[in-house]
Amino acid sequence: MNSSSAPGFGRRAFLGGIFAATAGGVVLGQDAKPAPKPKEHGNAIVYQFKIGEFDAWSISDGHMLFRGPLDLMWPREDQPQMKEWLESHGERMDGIPLYVNILVVRIGKEIALFDAGFGERDSTNIGWLQDGLKQAGIAPEQVTAGFLSHSHADHLAGFVAGGKPAFPNAAFYYLPEEYDFWHAKEPDFSKTKRNRAELPGMIREVCGQFDILKGVSQPAKAGTQFFNGAVTIEAAPGHTAGHAIFRIKSGNESLLHLMDLSHHHGFMFHNPNWYIAFDHDPMQSIDTRKKVFAQAAAERTRCYGFHVPWPGIGHVLPVGEGYLWHAERWSWGS
């Protein structure tokens, strides 16, 4: 997706700089030490966790808020049920949030990035990945692998900065179907509900970014494994022709990155037939979603969602004819 947004929060409020507070210590007695100075934290944008032996980080690239909350949701005739879902779950009705969560995993000497967010934007609401990496102590030069799910701006644009690869030492992996779609003479947008006026500019932007990344590009077929089987790229077509999801494995633990199989923590789980205007081929994306969700629910797979509330780790549970996104509890330390 890469459409309308409205500011909700200032970036500064989210940046996690830690500042010493000014409170002075009070001496209570001979052995008493002043109470530790309280620290001020901005809202967190980096969450560190483990996938088996691997260190992992969920970094928020920010979020967007779609006003006229259901404008982008299809099928239109189901909108009353969508509204009911929002109301019955106490959701705010002033906009649908679209979170942008970036997964980063350290696998031995490799540092792998799964999509790269919006990159350089005018908005203070998005494009936080580089700040998040800094907080995690990761320099852009240390990233060795960039995995792309698909080429919409919230996923691809952050791989480029100042007309150059933003991560100069990272190989850039994607499914060949994704490249082929955008580089076709006339990319097939016949089934999408997207605003067609956006398409020529979008195609130009995507092809320009692929050009910049040419020197580091390594298209990889579905099923390809990386780093001794630690990462597998899988085809999950529909949202785009070459939309990929990723399975990360360490010992007996795994994490399935669902990418854009869902754009919301409620809608697409509650009813997998509900879809967003950004899908290139909605019916195919629904089929893919149903298959992947059914398998993830049956196997109780730990999952990660690009567009669910940050930090985006959870499980897909079967409920009625649909599913429920159940966020994992936060865990600090071991």
Which 3 state secondary structure label does DSSP give 252? coil
Question: Degrees (nearest 5) of the Cα angle 111, 125, 200?
Answer: 85
- Closest distance to Zn ion from the beta carbon of 260 (Å): 4
Q: How many CB atoms lie within 10 A of CB 37?
A: 12
Residue 147's contacts (CB-CB under 8 Å, 6 or more residues apart) are 112, 113, 114, 115, 173, 174, 231, 233, 244, 246
Residue appearing with tokens 């099928």? 75
The answer to whether 193 and 279 have CB atoms below 8 angstroms apart is yes
- Closest distance to Zn ion from the beta carbon of 153 (Å): 9
# residues near Zn ion by CB under 5 A: 2
Reading the block at residue 77, the tokens are 């005739």
- Determine the Cα–Cα distance for residues 156 and 297; give it in Å rounded to an integer: 29
Q: Which three-class secondary structure string do you get for 191-214? A: CCCCCHHHHHHHHHHHHHHHHHCH
- Closest distance to Zn ion from the beta carbon of 159 (Å): 14
Is residue 154 a contact point for Zn ion (CB under 5 A)?
yes
Is residue 260 a contact point for Zn ion (CB under 5 A)?
yes
Closer to Zn ion by CB, 54 or 274: give it. 274
Is residue 115 a contact point for Zn ion (CB under 5 A)?
no
Closer to Zn ion by CB, 54 or 99: give it. 99
Contact region with Zn ion (CB under 5 A), list: 31-39, 67-75, 256-264, 326-334: 256-264
- Closest distance to Zn ion from the beta carbon of 154 (Å): 5
- Closest distance to Zn ion from the beta carbon of 14 (Å): 20
Contact region with Zn ion (CB under 5 A), list: 43-51, 125-133, 259-267, 320-328: 259-267
Cα distances (angstroms) measured from residue 206 to each of 154, 179, 199: 11, 9, 10
- Determine the Cα–Cα distance for residues 311 and 330; give it in Å rounded to an integer: 9
- Closest distance to Zn ion from the beta carbon of 204 (Å): 19
Closer to Zn ion by CB, 110 or 260: give it. 260
- Closest distance to Zn ion from the beta carbon of 280 (Å): 12
- Determine the Cα–Cα distance for residues 141 and 186; give it in Å rounded to an integer: 36
Closer to Zn ion by CB, 156 or 296: give it. 156
The answer to whether 129 and 158 have CB atoms below 8 angstroms apart is yes
Is residue 110 a contact point for Zn ion (CB under 5 A)?
no
Closer to Zn ion by CB, 220 or 258: give it. 258
Contact region with Zn ion (CB under 5 A), list: 19-27, 84-92, 260-268, 321-329: 260-268
Is residue 61 a contact point for Zn ion (CB under 5 A)?
no
Closer to Zn ion by CB, 260 or 279: give it. 260
- Name which of residues 65 to 84 contact Zn ion (CB under 5 A): none
Contact region with Zn ion (CB under 5 A), list: 125-133, 136-144, 253-261, 309-317: 253-261
- Closest distance to Zn ion from the beta carbon of 216 (Å): 22
Contact region with Zn ion (CB under 5 A), list: 66-74, 129-137, 149-157, 221-229: 149-157
- Determine the Cα–Cα distance for residues 259 and 233; give it in Å rounded to an integer: 12
- Determine the Cα–Cα distance for residues 252 and 217; give it in Å rounded to an integer: 31
Catalog residues that contact Zn ion under the rule CB under 5 A: 154, 260
